[in-house]
Chains A and B, each alone.
Chain A
Amino acid sequence: KVYLFNVKDSCRVQSSGLKGTVPSQAPPIIFAVPTKVVSETGSVAHYMGINKVPELQMIFQKTDGAPVHLKRGVMDKMLYRTMMGLTIGGTLYCLMALYIVAQPRKPQ
């Protein structure tokens, strides 16, 4: 076997890890609630947030007949109405602007 350093020597060196500083037995828990062991949290550890996909799947599969772009209710409706407002308003503005600039300039 090949080691990166002499195993015997590492016992004497502080920088070889936690060997000298961490007690071999966990200290008795006095105040805190015992931290949950990972195996007790369920099969998936919660790194950066919990899984909300099943909940969202329930929302989006509701048989309320709403199309997918309106499925989430009020927020979707507001955004849609804003968009259509801007779209229609923008179209009219654009057509007007093009009509105006298409007029021949007055002779000087």
Chain B
Amino acid sequence: MAHQAHAYHMVDPSPWPLTGAIAALLMTSGLAIWFHFHSTMLMTLGLVLTLLTMYQWWRDIIREGTFQGHHTPPVQKGLRYGMILFITSEVFFFLGFFWAFYHSSLAPTPELGGCWPPTGIIPLDPFEVPLLNTAVLLASGVTVTWAHHSIMEGERKQTIQSLALTILLGFYFTALQAMEYYEAPFTIADGVYGSTFFVATGFHGLHVIIGSTFLAVCLLRQIQYHFTSEHHFGFEAAAWYWHFVDVVWLFLYVSIYWWGS
């Protein structure tokens, strides 16, 4: 086998981009079929293919990095840039929803009663569960930093414990939010208040679930000795994503929950 004379990673041919693209086609067409013809078969198939593609694609990245040693410093640098760019794109995604919120709330129309919150809307008390949620996410930011320092210092047990605690805090947040959603006195259909509230907090909640899953995968990898004290980019990427989720919540809390009440 010829050995490469450079530090970069020439990836093996892979079927996952194709299966991922087909999965997206099946999910979107399936959505349309479900809306108009009441059949969920195509959409479910698309969802299954998406999940299988994600599992195998990321499994292969772990194989390439941890088991085959392809993630040299220049390659890792590229992965870092990639993650930073991805998180930046997500920031812009949320910026849109904040724009929508401020557009409607800074100049409330006569149809809303000329005030914010609109007439008839009973907002959630920002100093009850939302404040607890803020504390939970801030605490999880501390525990994930603790986990990072533990990895860098080679403390296996502490890493596992602090990472597990971070994930538990993430689940606690999700559970609290789910309860809040259930108990809320307004719905997504309650005018622009309902729309901006549930779309912004809903997408945030989805990102908390994604972040928790990413951290859980890191926990499994940590238990299986994939990370070294010098090289643990997968964990760092998860921690960056988690901090991003935390910061988005702080903006949501201050804007929608607190100022918006």
List chain A positions with a Cβ less than 8 A from chain B: 44-45, 47-49, 51-53, 56-57, 59-61, 63, 65, 67-69, 71, 79-80, 83-84, 86-87, 90-91, 93-94, 97-98, 101
Contacts and interface: CB of A to CB of B under 8 A. Distances in A.
B160 A101 contact: no
B130 interface: no
Interface residues of B, number: 40
Given A94-B26, A97-B29, 4 more contacts: A52-B225, A53-B225, A57-B67, A60-B67
Contact of B19 (A48, A67, A87): A87
B29 A98 contact: yes
B12 A69 contact: yes
A75 B19 CA distance: 18
Nearest to A58: B67
A83 B33 contact: no
Contacts of B69: 57, 61
Nearest to B68: A60
* Interface residues of A, dominant DSSP: helix
Given A52-B225, A69-B56, A90-B45, A83 B15 contact: yes
Interface string B211-224: 00000000000011
Given A90-B26, A94-B29, A68 B224 contact: no
Contacts of B52: 79, 83, 86
B29 A61 contact: no
Interface of B: 1, 12-16, 18-19, 22-23, 25-26, 29-30, 33, 36-37, 41-42, 45-46, 48-49, 52-53, 56, 60, 63-64, 66-69, 156-157, 160, 223-226
A61 B67 contact: yes
Contacts of B63: 60, 68, 71
A87 B18 CA distance: 9
B161 to A, nearest CB: 10
Contacts of B225: 51-53
Nearest to A91: B22
Contact of A101 (B22, B37, B156): B37
B70 to A, nearest CB: 9
Contacts of A48: 160, 223
B19 A68 contact: no
B56 A94 contact: no
B36 A94 contact: no
